[in-house]
Amino acid sequence: MTGTIKRKGGPMDVSDALRRRRMVRSFDGAALEADLVSSLFEDSLRAPTAGNSRGISWLLFSGSDEVASYFSVTTDAEWRATSTRFEGLSRASAVGVCLADPTLYTKRYSEDDKKSSGLGEHVAAWPVPYWIGDAGAASLAALLLAEARGLAACFLGAFRGIELLRDLSQIPEGIEIYGSVLLGRPDGNDHRSPSLDLPGPTRSERVHRALFSPNPSAS
């Protein structure tokens, strides 16, 4: 059975949402209903977390003033002056910053049913920090929900101003800042990313069957 994502006006097939989804980097600045924003990010937290640790959360900025405060610390003057994307990005109606709390994972894995894994002792015991993968799953869920609900969205990496953002929003030390999902409605002025035209392996070349096969286009 094909899964569906409910949207106003009817269901959207999950595969359709994946195909239609695009990173939109130029928004019109129109306000979004608070319930629409909060419900989208709450629903994205249905994405899985290791051991049902529930260690992923969102920090929301809604409305022009809050979004401006977000950009004031996550960008710098030089980038704002030189980026061809900043003006369009800055008109996002809402921003959700995806946060991960590794201590909730170690706490969960110290419980009786998970203790034998040895992952409950400390964060360094995890060979793979699954809270990063879980943050990615929640972020993708938010992007797909935006598509299904007729909104534009993009993911913005956490490259600048991490500690300034931590101070601004009083994010405790130990909580990891993964990145942000920007929401809004498109203004029609977005331009195609040149990265879409870069050479690289196809999707079929990136699906390996039983044995890993090097991609010819990667050599």
Specify the CATH number for 12-191; select among 3.40.50.300, 3.40.109.10, 2.60.40.60, 1.10.10.10: 3.40.109.10
pLDDT of residue 11: 65
Whole-angstrom distance, CA of residue 129 vs CA of residue 127: 7
Whole-angstrom distance, CA of residue 183 vs CA of residue 36: 11
Say which range, 7-11, 60-64, 72-76, has the weakest mean pLDDT.
Answer: 7-11
pLDDT tens per residue, range 89-118: 999 999 999 999 999 999 999 999 999 999
pLDDT tens per residue, range 24-62: 999 999 999 999 999 999 999 999 999 999 999 999 999
pLDDT of residue 216: 62
Q: What is this structure's pTM?
A: 0.89
Provide the mean pLDDT of the chain: 92
pLDDT of residue 194: 81
Whether 1 has a pLDDT exceeding 50, the answer reads no
Query: Given its phi and psi angles, is residue 113 left (phi above 0), alpha (psi -120 to 50 degrees) or beta?
Result: alpha
pLDDT tens per residue, range 124-158: 999 999 999 999 999 999 999 999 999 999 999 99
Non-local (6+) Cβ contacts of 174 within 8 A are 101, 102, 103
pLDDT tens per residue, range 151-181: 999 999 999 999 999 999 999 999 999 999 9
pLDDT of residue 179: 98
